[in-house]
A and B are shown apart, each in its own frame.
Chain A
């Protein structure tokens, strides 16, 4: 009996925070989704009306479409561009130092505070001839300045998020590639193996699981992240770059329709829980939990 007291005591602050900011919010989101709570903060239960409202929402199809496009293309960048960076910096360039330099460079978007990172992109997409893209297009094609964020908002948010996410995959793939014994590559080279077969037969098998992991992980976080979109376009113009989680955020904190916003979130939460389940099944997380070394 006494043996339990100490570990539970040490876990108490952890459990308290988790209870307050994970467990309670899940419960509240679930209940709130069935109310029409607004700025008056009253719990009026209205059954399934919120969910009927989602389906008949005039913006529904555009938001679902945007979410698919955004998640799909960003995921492609996050996986394939990351793979390209990892291959170039840790396999094709055999010098440890310069590989590290490039990887460090690509870490920059990730550690830059979101507000500053978005500021950099605001300059690139700037609608006047001051912006980088407009400078380039007027120099090479003598085009008139384009308001990129208004004409191509989806492309913008995909690029911005893709570049942040690429470093995550890059780091994981790089360390997987680096863990392949160099002798294997030497042997393949001596045997005259083609680049393609080196990739297909040596590199790919060793990064198969990391690729799966990065895909599911990023899918999970892309489905529910909207910080950069909020800063860059705020879903606009009108609803052209609005994605599902951002719509829920706007409904709750802009229109103060907390009930409706919760219903929108609840669907995301359910999808996220399912995906987490997939993650657990795929990677046999039980293996990560070794038993304690102490009796």
Chain B
């Protein structure tokens, strides 16, 4: 990269001016960035304020604090003439879905990632290439056929069905990520365990796995959040109120957007977001890294 050739000749400037100029640049950048981020800031501020107030002035200033909006925690909410199931049922189902998805995804991708990283077998290059291809493949376009597959398997309208489909959509990416972690484990470590008399499985389980714990933590958080936030698959494949989840619960309250009860909606939305906020604050670093891997929102 040749910089010298293209730049304008240096103006004669003393360093204090230079300093002041760069200060001004930083301040302007702060102003622009803050201005751009204002809508975001207000959106999330509103989410919180609206959930604890009964009436708002100018859309965002609370007039009166109330906990009436949080009534869904202790009673079943009615929307129109229809009574929604308990929020705790929805929470339990969401937890089941996210937890189950995490377990399935971690087990499958750790096994596949290790095989792809450390073992030589026919078709290995082909598999690796397809992992990347599958990661890029727009799986939502296949939803109709997936519906048919689930229907044939008798898994329509079950959380299991959604869990398996979601796992299938996610494993190419988590396999690829965990493979990278396995690649970083020095072969010597595993070799010495083998020499000490471990067999391959034991060496993998006792020596290699503990070394990729950060990777496992990262894909666990990622898949838990993905399961927790899932909407489209639940909306498409689940009909029974017994299988309601927080996403579909909220969607049912939004319903007809002409007559929205924002107080109730924001309270329920905030309740739904609690684990996301928790992970966001405490595991920001891994979240940022995960998104580098090209997480696409289906």
Contacts and interface: CB of A to CB of B under 8 A. Distances in A.
A89 interface: yes
A294 B118 contact: yes
B269 interface: yes
A261 B144 contact: yes
Interface stretch (B68-76, B211-219, B250-258): B250-258
B1 A85 contact: no
Contacts of A8: 115, 121
Nearest to B107: A13
Interface in B270-298: 272-273, 276, 279-280, 284, 287-288, 291-292, 294-298
A292 B280 contact: no
A272 B137 contact: yes
A48 interface: no
B149 A25 contact: yes
B257 A149 contact: yes
Contact of B9 (A94, A164, A192, A288): A192
Contacts of A253: 144, 147, 236
A109 interface: yes
Given A17-B171, A202-B3, A115 B112 contact: no
B134 to A, nearest CB: 6
B87 to A, nearest CB: 14
B167 A17 contact: yes
Contacts of B139: 21-22
Contacts of B128: 289
Given A10-B111, A201-B1, A280-B133, A226 B140 contact: yes
B262 A130 contact: yes
Contacts of A226: 140
Contacts of B295: 110, 168
B183 A220 contact: no
B40 interface: yes
Contacts of A105: 37, 40-41
Given A107-B288, A227-B298, A191 B175 contact: no
Interface string A206-237: 00000000000100110111110011000000
Given A29-B142, A94-B26, A227-B232, A112 B7 contact: no
B8 A22 contact: no
Contacts of A46: none
A289 B147 CA distance: 33
Contacts of B147: 252-253, 258
A18 B168 contact: yes
Given A8-B121, A24-B149, A108-B280, A114 B231 contact: yes
A285 B42 contact: no
B40 A197 contact: no
Interface string B226-254: 00110110011000000000110011001
Contact of B37 (A41, A102, A190, A231): A102
Which residue, B108, B109, B151, B172, has most C-beta atoms of chain A within 10 A? B108
Contacts of B143: 249, 252, 265
Contact of B254 (A20, A122, A171): A122
Nearest to A217: B294
Contacts of A13: 107-108, 111-112
Contacts of B120: 3, 7, 292, 294-295
Interface of B: 1-4, 6-11, 13, 18, 22, 25-26, 29-30, 32-33, 36-37, 39-44, 46-47, 50, 56, 58-60, 107-109, 111-112, 114-122, 124-125, 127-130, 132-134, 136-149, 151, 164-165, 167-169, 171-172, 175, 183, 187, 200, 225, 228-229, 231-232, 235-236, 246-247, 250-251, 254, 257-258, 260, 262, 265-266, 269, 272-273, 276, 279-280, 284, 287-288, 291-292, 294-298
Name the 3 nearest CB pairs between A and B, nearest first. A192-B10, A224-B138, A25-B145
Given A28-B149, A227-B297, 14 more contacts: A7-B120, A13-B111, A29-B142, A89-B33, A108-B40, A110-B291, A114-B232, A120-B43, A120-B46, A132-B60, A167-B291, A192-B13, A269-B142, A289-B128
16 contacts: A7-B115, A26-B145, A103-B288, A104-B280, A115-B250, A124-B43, A130-B262, A135-B58, A187-B3, A197-B7, A248-B141, A252-B143, A273-B137, A288-B132, A292-B116, A292-B119
